[in-house]
Amino acid sequence: MRVGIGYDVHPLMAGRRLVLGGVEIPFSRGLSGWSDADVLTHAIIDALLGAASLGDIGRHFPPGEPEYKDISSLVLLKRVKDKLAENGWVIGNIDATVVAERPRLSDFVEPMRQQLSRTLGIAPGQVSIKASTSAGLGFTGRGEGIATYAVATVEKQ
């Protein structure tokens, strides 16, 4: 068994959709980035790639590449799942914490778990997502962006 950790952060901005874990969340601002800027999915991608020693999200899906402009991060996550399988790895579990002062995310945790587990072909019980705030501190506390921490385990088949 191997363990990987992932982290991602994107600033909030007007005129963008807010997508977390492949779920669109109603909010006045969305995350800025080359793809859909889904910080939850990006952190999970990095955790999975790290656990399998396969690099990071930027190596596999470089920002600035036209094919990744506004792409759904679920498409990237599926490609990572396939890359893991090609290298003989299966996913054990994922645990992630999304840090955002607003919007309130508790109503969206279950849909995110369902969407991510479907994309990865694993049981929802293998995906844990938590929502937290930073108690008004730092860039997340000021509502300037959203961050996510993720841990994943993989095992050789």
Contacts of 50 (CB under 8 A, 6+ apart): 4, 5, 6, 56, 152
User: Which domains are delineated in the chain?
Assistant: 2-156 (3.30.1330.50)
pTM, two decimals, is 0.97
Q: What is the mean pLDDT of residues 90-102?
A: 97
Residues 28 and 61: their CA atoms lie apart, in Å, by 28
46-63 CB burial, b ≥16 within 10 A, e <16 = bbbbbbbebeebeebbee
* 63: three-class secondary structure by DSSP: coil
Are the CB atoms for 76 and 61 separated by under 8 Å? yes
129-144 CB burial, b ≥16 within 10 A, e <16 = bebeeeeeeebbeeee
* pLDDT tens readout for residues 45-92: 999 999 999 999 999 999 999 999 999 999 999 999 999 999 999 999
Q: How confident is the model at residue 153 (pLDDT cuts 50, 70, 90)?
A: very high
Question: How many of the other CB atoms lie within 10 Å of CB of 88?
Answer: 11
Percent of all residues in the chain with a pLDDT value above 70, rounded to a whole number: 100
* 140: three-class secondary structure by DSSP: helix
Output the pLDDT for position 145: 97
Q: What is the mean pLDDT of residues 84-110?
A: 97
